[in-house]
Amino acid sequence: MRIDVLIQSAWQALFHNQRRSFLTIIGIVIGVASIITTLTLSHGYQTYTLDKLTDGKGGVQLEYNFALKDSNKTHEGVTSYTQADIKMVNKIPGVKSSYIKDNSVTASASQVTINKKKFDFYYGLQVKAPVKILAGRNLQLSDDQNFSRVTIISDKVAEKFHLDPEKIIGKGIDLGTNVYTIVGIFKEVPKPVGSNEAALNGYLPKKTYSKFQLTNDAVMPSLKVTVETKATPSQVSKQVLQALKANGSGKQYGRYETLNNEQLIDGVGKSLSSMTYFVAGIAAISLIIAGVGVMNMMYTVISERSKEIGIRRVFGATDRVIQLQFLFEGMFLTLIGGILGYILGFIVAFVISRVMPFSVVPDLKTILTAIGISSAVGLIFSYLPAKSAAQKNLVDVLR
């Protein structure tokens, strides 16, 4: 039987009882749409997450940290990476590019006590604070160079604890590990409405903070290396680490360390994929219910078209031709539902993605998934009805 004849027959059967066909297709549309929405959103989130761990183009990124051998030694004057290191690393086979990442801290917070009252003290780190001084003086270059334990606080802090700005100058403020002398009061500038950042109510010299308030290895610059897509990240990582240990600019001051991002990326990808398929499997339950509706409809259609089956038998139609006809009609019905379900599912996913940090795009995999799933539902749930139509006895049909 020719394919064009099967399509024509299936199309006519679709409009034979439009209400019944419409309700059956709706079930398929909902089932496919739920799966496509899940897969599309999961694919978008997976791409977004993996892009954060790579260079956004599939290249794995490796990060090399530097830790001082002597934890009591200040990192000031110690160079962990230089441009010479960049040139050396870029010559290693499999390295696409590299750059030095600045990990320095620009602000911090501590819980302090003033007049026996505790509060969260948010302070910036500057050589000279960009603020308007109301009393005392600003931070100076000499404070930074000499690691002076001095600070300036805002007028809001003074008002909160009913402190006279003139009398508070020279007093101490305890930041947990060290006491800092207040040398100035500045006018606090509030953050804009809706900002997630807290207004700074104090400033410390940068070098003083690095020496007394922070572990030294936490502020050392790191080296970011992007691996070529065709290279093996583990091999490249090993070669880069060996080169740094042998010829790195900071080798005499500390040690170089790295995290295997390849294993992390692989683990994240597998976890997200497993979760996606699990949720999609739950969504597929609605598709199975819709498939039962297709089977019920096909049995009803076959019962109503018994005479048509008998006439086709009289004119020489074989069991195989009759079975193929009804099997194709069931698949045609679900295929239409699958196409409409994909469109609906993608629209829903697109709308949801507008309030998410990632975007979704149509891809061939989900399109083929929608077509494949809907066709499989039609084939599976139309098989038994089509087989029963092919096995109908000619005498019983025409009686």
Averaged over successive runs of 10 residues, the pLDDT of the chain (399 residues) comes to 64 74 87 86 78 60 79 58 90 90 77 74 84 90 90 86 78 81 88 63 85 61 84 83 89 80 63 74 81 88 80 78 84 89 92 86 84 88 86 64
Q: What is the pLDDT of residue 93?
A: 92
Structure tokens at 42: 């999961």
Distance CA(86)–CA(64), nearest Å, equals 12
Q: Which residues pair with 67 in a beta bridge?
A: 255
Distance CA(191)–CA(344), nearest Å, equals 43
108: region left, alpha or beta (phi > 0 left; psi from -120 to 50 alpha): beta
User: What is the CB-side half-sphere exposure of residue 253 using CA atoms within 13 A?
Assistant: 19
Distance CA(246)–CA(103), nearest Å, equals 24
DSSP annotation of 58 reads S
User: What is the CB-side half-sphere exposure of residue 221 using CA atoms within 13 A?
Assistant: 19
Q: What is the pLDDT of residue 346?
A: 92
Distance CA(82)–CA(253), nearest Å, equals 14
Amino acid identity, position 360: V
Query: Using only C-alpha atoms, what is the Rg of the chain?
Result: 35
Q: Which residues contact 49 (CB under 8 A, 6 or more apart)?
A: 268, 272
Per-residue burial over 210-226, b if 16 or more Cβ lie within 10 Å, else e, is: bbbbeebbebbbbbebb
Q: What is the pLDDT of residue 216?
A: 47
Q: What is the pLDDT of residue 394?
A: 62
CA distances from 22 to 19, 25, 29, 127, 288 (A): 5, 5, 10, 73, 17
Q: What is the pLDDT of residue 193?
A: 53
**Is 81 within 8 Å of 277 (Cβ atoms)?**
no
Q: What angle do CA 368, 370, 371 make, to 5 degrees?
A: 65
391: region left, alpha or beta (phi > 0 left; psi from -120 to 50 alpha): alpha
Structure tokens at 379: 């084939």
Q: At what angle do helices 306-314 and 261-304 cross, to 10 degrees?
A: 80
pTM over 0.75: no
Burial group, residue 307, by CB count within 10 angstroms (0-12, 13-18, 19+): exposed
